[in-house]
Structure 1
Amino acid sequence: MPTAPPPAPPAPAGPADPLRAVAVGLLNLSGLGLGYALVRRWGLMAVCWIATAVLLVVALPADPDGVPGALLVGYLVLLLLAAAHGAAVGLRTRLSLLPGALVAAVLGLVLLAVPAGGAVLYDGARDEATEQMLLDRLDRADKLVAAAAERPFAASEADYRRALTAYDRLVKDHPGSRAAGHVPDRVRTYYATVAAPYTVKDYCGAVAPLKYLRTVPGSVARKTVGGLSGWPDDRLATSLYECGAASLAAGSSEWTTQFADLLSTFPKSSQAGEVEPAVKTRVDAAVKAVGGSEPCAAVQRLDSLATDVQELPGEEAGLSGALDKDAGRATASARTGAYACGVDQYRDGSYSEAVTTMNDFVKDNPHSGNAGRAKKIAIAAEVAETVPAAGKKLPTTASGGSISVTIKNDSPDDITVLYTGPVTGSLTLKACGSCSSYSLSSTLGLGFKPCSAGKNYPQKTIRLPVGTTYFVHKSRDDSGGSPASDTAKLRSGYLYTECAYTTNYTY
């Protein structure tokens, strides 16, 4: 059967030719094994092609991390070995495909541009990949800001901080990148987004985000913030004032926090200068309200205003004197307004509160023109606590009358006798040393007649007008049991005796 022809014998070795050796080595440096092709070493050429193909598969498409260092070093070592080996083979091996060693050497030099140009192009592609990666980071930060804007600041602050960190790192770590170049515009948008409540005049809601923005310059690079360092200041001052003024007008206690922050943080601002007029207006309104339908509420507001205004830090703003004056006026008006409050409490049947209010008024305003009547109202209110019918009319300052009423003390205690009706007053009687408190059951019997044992009872005589007078008598130290009461309808032409006693029954 026919047989295949024998393979062609290798080219005979010729004399050594250094130029040829250089040409083969240079052609192998291209990474394509072309030097091996000239000396017909096809297997070694295939190894070069495979190595280059592996490098391209790993390297493309370019990414910011580039080619693994070990692979790149291994490939370069392979190229150097191929160049050295090719040069050794080409030294004594005649060339094929090309007419001479000089042409091959020139071609080798030209083809060196292939790996060199590829490296340059690859570096450019890697740089672009890095830019795209940084732009992606920028885009993710932008999306964090946009998403955070849809939620209240307290819930989104963490996302705002993450976005700010991303912007800052772009500026610090990649200052020459396209992404870093976009950061100034993004940070302006960032500030406007965080401060969005201010834009829609939600001044109370704007305080926290604007305070946060004031901390930003201290946590990032100066280039990141640019000229925005002072951007929140005037907006925060306005928000603190407007929020505080709204809280003050609504009667909330939160205004003190807002105004205190404003006066401490921006004492020389125009907004700080508006604090005292706002406080004065509120004090004026509360003073006027004392004469309205709810005087007690107005007095309470004045007391609260006086305390709160005194705590405002007005020194740096130069407002201490004016604020102290406002606080003093609120205190004085609250004290004098207590009279109107006590009258209102009396008329509403809140007798216990009226007693306390009027007694405090007399103590705080002993020289007031209303002090005398306030004492009468306090007495009448205390009588009405035991005998509600006594509180139907507001007592006057009238005194005296045409009817003599002798009041005796049938009690083992010093007693106070309170009475109200056409006139109102009180008196005290010393204890009856031989007397004792009565049990409740004894006072309910038909034959109960205090002051009838013929004893030498301590007594005083007063003069009262015609009409119904309500009496209450009680131990001066509140240790003699429950107060006793009596209702006397006084008529002309009679002498009356009122017996004061106490019972040992406690309600």
Structure 2
Amino acid sequence: MPSGPPPAPPDALRAAAVALLNLTGLGLGYLLVRRWLPLAVCLAATVALLFVALPADADGVPGSALAGYAVLLLLAAVHGAFVGLRTRLVWPGQRAVALVLGIVLLAVPAGGALWYDSARKEAVERALLDRLAAADRQVDAAGEKDFATAGPAYRDALGVYRDLAVHHAGSRAAARVPGRMRTYYTTVAAAYADQDYCAAVEPLKYLRTVPDSMPRDQLGTLTHWPDDRLATSLYACGADGLTGTGGDWVPRFGYLLDTFPDSAQAAKVVPAVDAAEKRTAKAVAGKDPCAAVERLRTLSTQIGQLPGGTDGLAAVAGRADRSADAGGYACGVDQYRDGDFAKAQQTMTQFVTDNPHDKNRDRARKIAIGAQVAQTLPAAGKKLPTTASGGSIPVTVKNDSPDEITVLYTGPVTGSFTLGPCGSCTAYSFTDSLRPGWEPCGDSGRNYPQHTISLPPGTTYFVHEPKTDSTATPGSDTAKLRDGYLYTECAYTTRGLGSTY
């Protein structure tokens, strides 16, 4: 007996039917020709592919797996055609029916591929929606923090929104990005809604940069949404700083004038600065005039730091300088009354220099003299010098020293004058002052430089200061003047470890 049925005559139609049935991925062609091992291999490969592919996810099937499966199917089709060429079919008996069945069953892998592609696309959509939701949560969490801390989180979320809008433009997630951007803007700028204008400045500046990285069609009206809010915040924050002593208002107003020069907020800058100058100038008459003067000078300097081209600002700066110069008188008086005679002298001397036509200039000069005297004789500073002059009591001051001296006096009358050096005079030693009968200005043969002034009764304080020796100790005298007497002051020099007038 033969070991098996004899080979069938070659039949191309049967070979094609077996090849088509093997392309279904189920190895049905091998089933019809009773080839069990290749059938098992085809089924195992299909099951393995389904195990890898299902459930469908956004990443899809690895390319290597698809390529390997496609090669296997082609090999199965070629091998099945070779086997089917000389092997009779178990079922169906007619070759045409098998061929039609193969063609029909090809719809199974084709339909499966279409279904899988749809499932994968849905998985991609879900993954993109998950990314969108994660970015939304990141924005919500960042909204609970200050902008300096939350800035990186906002930028990360913006990167996600941009990626969805640009690289996944047709997705459902991308369709939701414009709405999310409105939420994004309002969250970043929450400080503005809370009227915390200083805190709102930096977030709003950041939002103005968003159109540089985000497609404008995703933003719509949001493109210019921060502009008016930023201008409002810059002005409000700057105005708050202007009422204090800080200089943070300068960069606020400067940025406003540079960035939004034609805005309604920028138009308020000059009136705000003008009001601040007037308010500070008025404070010169208050309890701390020196602080007000310093504030005026600072204000003038700060105004100069603002963008140029604004005549109104230049006018305010000039007025602040003039107000500061005029306020020097009140400051000097306050310093004098507080006993800070050195500063009072400096302030009043500067006031006299800066204000040649001021009505208080003459008295300021008197106060400067009184402050200088009081630095040597503090009792002289108990009363503020007046502009009074003259008196009924003659007082002659002689210079018995080889140096030119300035004589300062204050009391009921305040003034100063200069005496030239005594050419034939010398400085006295300490031992000279111990000699019996020693008396300065007592040499009748010398022509001492002298000057006579008329003073009213009362206590007058004298200070003699050399004009050339800044290291010498000034001489001083307290004279109680009475009517009916003639008084003589003598200026002389003694030398020991130092010089004394």
What 5-or-longer segments of structure 2 have no aligned partner?
Answer: none
State the partner residue of 1:244: 238
Contact 2:256 2:266 (C-alpha < 8 Å) held by counterparts: yes
Contact 2:463 2:477 (C-alpha < 8 Å) held by counterparts: yes
Q: Which of 333, 336, 361 does residue 371 from structure 1 map onto?
A: 361
Contact 1:259 1:275 (C-alpha < 8 Å) held by counterparts: yes
Distance 1:365 1:149 in 2: 56
Contact 1:171 1:223 (C-alpha < 8 Å) held by counterparts: no
State the partner residue of 1:324: 314
Q: Which of 12, 17, 32 does residue 11 from structure 2 map onto?
A: 17
Contact 1:474 1:502 (C-alpha < 8 Å) held by counterparts: no
Distance 2:260 2:195 in 1: 20
State the partner residue of 1:204: 198
What 5-or-longer segments of structure 1 have no aligned partner?
Answer: 1-5
Q: Aligned-pair distance for 1:351?
A: 0.6
Q: Is 1:343 aligned with 2:337? A: no
Distance 2:157 2:149 in 1: 14
Q: Aligned-pair distance for 1:458?
A: 1.1
Q: TM-score when scaled to structure 1?
A: 0.92
Distance 2:90 2:136 in 1: 62
Distance 1:445 1:152 in 2: 84
Q: Is 1:27 aligned with 2:27? A: no
Q: Is 1:122 aligned with 2:122? A: no
Query: What per-residue deviation string (whole Å, max 9, x for no partner) do you get for residues 58-106 of structure 1?
Result: 2222233322223222211221221222222223322224343233222
**SS of the residue aligned with 2:58?**
coil
Q: Aligned-pair distance for 1:132?
A: 2.2
**CA distance 1:53–1:107, shift in 2 (3 Å):** same
Query: What per-residue deviation string (whole Å, max 9, x for no partner) do you get for residues 174-221 of structure 1?
Result: 111111111111111111111111111111111111111111212333
State the partner residue of 1:389: 379
Q: Which of 402, 405, 421 does residue 412 from structure 1 map onto?
A: 402
Query: What per-residue deviation string (whole Å, max 9, x for no partner) do you get for residues 292-339 of structure 1?
Result: 111111111111222222332253xxxx22222222221221111111
**CA distance 1:20–1:448, shift in 2 (3 Å):** farther
Distance 1:441 1:135 in 2: 105
**SS of the residue aligned with 1:61?**
coil
Q: Is 1:54 aligned with 2:48? A: yes
Contact 1:473 1:502 (C-alpha < 8 Å) held by counterparts: no
In the comparison of the two structures, how many residue pairs are matched? Answer: 497
Q: Which of 164, 179, 183 does residue 185 from structure 1 map onto?
A: 179
Q: How does 1:61-460 map to 2 (within 5 A)?
A: 61-313=55-307, 315=309, 320-438=310-428, 449-454=439-444, 455-460=446-451
Distance 2:181 2:195 in 1: 22
Distance 1:187 1:482 in 2: 78
Query: What per-residue deviation string (whole Å, max 9, x for no partner) do you get for residues 13-59 of structure 1?
Result: 33333332222222111111111111111111101111111211222
Distance 1:132 1:324 in 2: 62
Distance 1:132 1:441 in 2: 109
- One-letter code aligned to 2:115: L
- One-letter code aligned to 2:468: D
Q: Aligned-pair distance for 1:235?
A: 0.5
Distance 2:191 2:435 in 1: 77
**SS of the residue aligned with 2:394?**
strand
Q: Which of 471, 474, 481 does residue 483 from structure 1 map onto?
A: 474
Contact 2:493 2:499 (C-alpha < 8 Å) held by counterparts: no
- One-letter code aligned to 1:364: D
- One-letter code aligned to 1:393: K
**SS of the residue aligned with 1:487?**
strand
Q: TM-score when scaled to structure 2?
A: 0.94
Contact 1:339 1:374 (C-alpha < 8 Å) held by counterparts: yes
Contact 1:474 1:480 (C-alpha < 8 Å) held by counterparts: no
Distance 2:252 2:434 in 1: 64
Q: Aligned-pair distance for 1:418?
A: 0.2
Contact 1:167 1:224 (C-alpha < 8 Å) held by counterparts: no
Distance 1:230 1:96 in 2: 77
Comparing 97-106 with 483-492, greater Cα deviation is found at: 97-106
Q: Aligned-pair distance for 1:246?
A: 0.1
**CA distance 1:486–1:441, shift in 2 (3 Å):** farther
- One-letter code aligned to 1:354: A
Distance 1:76 1:48 in 2: 11
Contact 1:30 1:115 (C-alpha < 8 Å) held by counterparts: yes
**SS of the residue aligned with 1:488?**
strand
Contact 1:481 1:503 (C-alpha < 8 Å) held by counterparts: no
Distance 1:482 1:94 in 2: 138
Contact 1:14 1:92 (C-alpha < 8 Å) held by counterparts: yes
**SS of the residue aligned with 2:13?**
helix
State the partner residue of 1:463: 454
**CA distance 1:70–1:431, shift in 2 (3 Å):** same
Contact 1:432 1:457 (C-alpha < 8 Å) held by counterparts: yes
Comparing 121-130 with 341-350, greater Cα deviation is found at: 121-130
Q: Aligned-pair distance for 1:281?
A: 1.0
**SS of the residue aligned with 2:208?**
helix
- One-letter code aligned to 1:380: G
Contact 2:16 2:81 (C-alpha < 8 Å) held by counterparts: yes
- One-letter code aligned to 2:492: Y
**SS of the residue aligned with 1:54?**
helix
- One-letter code aligned to 1:91: L
Contact 2:471 2:499 (C-alpha < 8 Å) held by counterparts: no
Comparing 62-71 with 22-31, greater Cα deviation is found at: 62-71
Contact 1:475 1:502 (C-alpha < 8 Å) held by counterparts: no
Contact 2:14 2:85 (C-alpha < 8 Å) held by counterparts: yes
Distance 2:373 2:435 in 1: 24
Comparing 435-444 with 188-197, greater Cα deviation is found at: 435-444
Distance 1:28 1:395 in 2: 122
**CA distance 1:441–1:95, shift in 2 (3 Å):** farther
Contact 2:162 2:213 (C-alpha < 8 Å) held by counterparts: no
